[in-house]
Amino acid sequence: MTDPNKMIINLALFGMTQSGKSSAGNILLGSTDFHSIFAPCSVTICCTLGRSCHLHSFMRRAGREVALQVQVLDTPGYPHSRLSNEHVKREVKEALAHHFGQEGLNLALLVQRADVPFCGKEVTYPVQMIQELLGHAWMNYTAILFTHAEKIEEAGLNEDKYLHEVSDTLITLLNSIQHKYVFHYKKGKSLNEQRMKILERIMEFIKENGYQVLTFK
């Protein structure tokens, strides 16, 4: 029986190698579940599910306080420096079905470095994988998580100015997903502040979706 005082949200991380997926996953979980280091190659080689502790009184729903638990699926970088594209796609497809087959996926987060231009053929590969795995409804269940957003401030820009100057490819993607995006700033903010800001924004997207989930068979 579903507990009305608790909500579980399921998130999956997608992105290119060294985009910051595992690090972002740790922020979302409030832990160090995922191995995250700088390396000149792909670090994550298999999908891993992490579960957060309950965040009590995180939100109110139907007039009552609700505790939130976050489940995050970390995936290998795509394209990968050691694994074939087909291997990664098969690994992620099986993990989505295994972990979220019945409960459903609330949101796929495309992790993109804010300090790396979104252009060229390879940057679209993770988007293509999301489209293939999530199907025709992918746009409703996809958001962008911009990592290294402190670089925007260091360059003397704000978010609006940054988004005004990005590539046409990224603008097209943002339009497709109804401008669902969130920036992750590390500088000057505690880990808990970083986490709360991102989760609050993610919950806005999920609420806009009517708390619906995408299931996998």
Taking residue 36's Cβ as centre, other Cβ atoms within 10 Å add up to: 18
Domain span at 134: 6-209
According to the model, what pLDDT value does residue 216 have?
A: 85
Supply 123's token pair: 């940057």
According to the model, what pLDDT value does residue 18 have?
A: 84
Domain of 57, CATH number, reads 3.40.50.300
Does residue 181 contact residue 144 with C-beta atoms inside 8 Å? yes
Asked whether residue 22 is assigned to any structural domain, the reply reads yes
Asked whether residue 202 is assigned to any structural domain, the reply reads yes
Least confident of 33-47, 170-184, 198-212: 33-47
Asked whether residue 186 is assigned to any structural domain, the reply reads yes
Whether residue 210 has pLDDT greater than 90: yes
Instruction: For residue 18, list its beta bridge partners.
Output: none
Asked whether residue 149 is assigned to any structural domain, the reply reads yes
Residue with tokens 């979980």: 29
- What would the mean pLDDT of 181-192 be, rounded to a whole number? 86
Asked whether residue 216 is assigned to any structural domain, the reply reads no
- What would the mean pLDDT of 130-151 be, rounded to a whole number? 96
Number of domains in the chain: 1
Residue 97 CA: distances (Å) to CA of 89, 133, 134: 12, 10, 11
pLDDT digits (tens, 9 = 90+) for 54-69: 998 787 777 788 899 9
Numbers of helices and strands, H then E, in the chain: 7, 7
Cα dihedral across residues 29, 84, 39, 154: positive or negative: negative
Asked whether residue 1 is assigned to any structural domain, the reply reads no
Whether residue 120 has pLDDT greater than 70: yes
Between CA 44 and CA 35 the distance in angstroms is 8
According to the model, what pLDDT value does residue 82 have?
A: 85
Asked whether residue 214 is assigned to any structural domain, the reply reads no
- H or E element, residue 91: helix 85-100
For residue 142, the SS3 value is strand
Confidence of residue 1 (pLDDT cuts 50, 70, 90): very low
**pTM score of the predicted model:** 0.93
